[in-house]
Amino acid sequence: MKDAFYFDEMTGHQGDTLREPYQNFDQWFQSENPARLRKKQREAEELFRLTGITFNVYGRAEAAERLIPFDIVPRIISGREWSRLAKGIEQRVRAINAFLYDIYHRQEIVKAGRLPAEMIAKNEAFLPQMVGVSPPGGVYTHIVGIDLVRTGPDEFYVLEDNARTPSGVSYMLENRETMLRMFPELFTQNRVQSVSNYPKMLRRSLAACAPNMAGDKPTVAVLTPGIYNSAYYEHSFLADKMGVELVEGHDLRVVDGRVAMRTTQGYKPIDVLYRRVDDDFLDPLNFNPESQLGVPGIMDVYKAGGITIANAPGTGIADDKAIYSYMPDIVEFYTGEKAILKNVPTWRCSDPESLKYVLDNLHDLVVKEVHGSGGYGMLIGPTATKKDIAAFRKKLMAKPGNYIAQPTLSLSTVPIFTKSGLAPRHVDLRPFVLVSPNKIDITPGGLTRVALKKGSLVVNSSQGGGTKDTWVLEE
């Protein structure tokens, strides 16, 4: 079933030992009729279609809504494994929040020589408008997604941090709901930790970050760029599940020093705005004057303490891929502890020596844009053609500071259900973290993205990947 070069989360490195987290599942799977499972797979796909679980693909002729592929075989993580992961995730998120406060205030990490000044001063994700601004409750990153990959039984790496507007939580929730509907018996046989209370926790966590002027029941709203955004399904899904209003920029205005939304009873002040609009489009008076998506004057209200914006403007510098390479130092500087979760070794192409190494080894490396996302604008050396490598070499030499490079990791595999039975495919994992002034909540599991093409290491849905339910078992 597997290539021994990769660690398989069901059968180990050699592919001949059933690992403990999968034992109950395997027993169930072996007793099932394959024809029934194929029927269930089709039913799941139809359910996704009826529910409207779609995403948009940009930059293609067929840039219409697509169904995200779903696989019925769950990814299973033991309670012990998750406990260790959760400690590392919490440590990292605390450090990111402390780092953001520091760089927009005294910049102690720069003064201490642990981070070069140019990494901030010349970084397009750094927002000068946030210098000296302290968000309500001291929280910058209200919702964080930490992308993890696995290479062995106890070897997890952080691939990247998502501190701006991490997406994908709606798929995590719908994947679980679909599995509960398709295979209720599996959940009686396995003690799987629940993820269904995420929307309630999200609303509670956002409300806890409301500004001082908010009342006992803060008003929360979700700001979306609109129906043409690739994640619009998720915006409307979360607003609905939280029981809050979904608004666009034209629904909002500044009234008497507060940001207010249009209602049938007139304009009503908002205390917390969970925005899914990028910094540059948030306020045409303070950022991009051409923006039709934001709210004129919202930054002035924010600076005066009249509204909480989640995530805070300027958080994007924390998920910049060049800053990522300093994360072990950042974690140690702000927590006084060594990082529990390892970084992937990273070459910053802005450094001449690193650039030379990367150019000499392009065929072996993964090269990414510093501000890239969604699997776009990257080179996967081992699977690239000579023509691709030559074209990328020119881009790299023209703007080396735009790129970082990493080794090609042996990502773990988990089984997917195919016509011929179970087959291994590469995966990553995005756990979701909620941060409020006195609490950090980590949802047990997260979004597992799976490369459905045999041998592919690219898991992004925009690049042909799919998703599966992620189970964290009770300890």
Distance CA(362)–CA(355), nearest Å, equals 10
Residue in the block written with tokens 């950022």: 287
Q: Where are the alpha helices (DSSP H) in 54-135?
A: 79-103, 108-111, 118-121
Q: Give φ, ψ of 168 to 5 degrees.
A: 110, -10
Q: Please give the average pLDDT of every successive group of 10 residues along the chain, which has 475 residues.
A: 72 86 96 94 87 55 64 97 97 98 98 94 92 96 97 93 92 95 94 97 98 93 93 94 97 96 95 96 94 94 97 94 92 97 93 93 90 70 90 92 89 93 94 97 96 83 84 95
Q: Is the C-alpha dihedral spanning 136, 140, 145, 148 positive or negative?
A: negative
| Distance set, CA 317 to CA 4, 128, 164 (Å) | 38, 12, 9
pLDDT of residue 311: 97
Residues 6+ apart with CB under 8 A from 149: 156, 157, 159, 344, 409, 411, 412, 428, 429
Distance CA(48)–CA(41), nearest Å, equals 11
pLDDT of residue 398: 94
Are the beta carbons of 472 and 444 closer than 8 angstroms? yes
Q: Which two tokens stand for residue 421?
A: 């039975």
Are the beta carbons of 445 and 404 closer than 8 angstroms? no
Are the beta carbons of 19 and 10 closer than 8 angstroms? yes
pLDDT of residue 215: 86
Angle subtended at Cα 444 by Cα 2 and Cα 91, rounded to the nearest 5 degrees:
100
pLDDT of residue 60: 44
Helix (H, G, I), strand (E, B) or coil at 81: helix
Question: Comparing C-alpha atoms, which of 322, 357, 327, 364 is closest to residue 342?
Answer: 327
Q: Which two tokens stand for residue 343?
A: 């970084």
Pick the CATH number of 345-407 from 3.40.720.10, 3.30.1490.270, 3.40.50.300, 3.30.420.40: 3.30.1490.270
Q: Which residues of 191-223 are buried (b: 16+ CB within 10 A; e: fewer)?
A: ebeebeebbebbbbbbbbbbbeebeeebbbbbb
Q: Where are the domains of the chain?
A: 20-211+307-342+409-472, 345-407
Q: Which residues of 372-409 are buried (b: 16+ CB within 10 A; e: fewer)?
A: bbebebbbbbeebeeeeeeebeeebeeebebbbbbeeb
Q: How many CB atoms lie within 10 A of CB 238?
A: 24
Residue type, 337: E
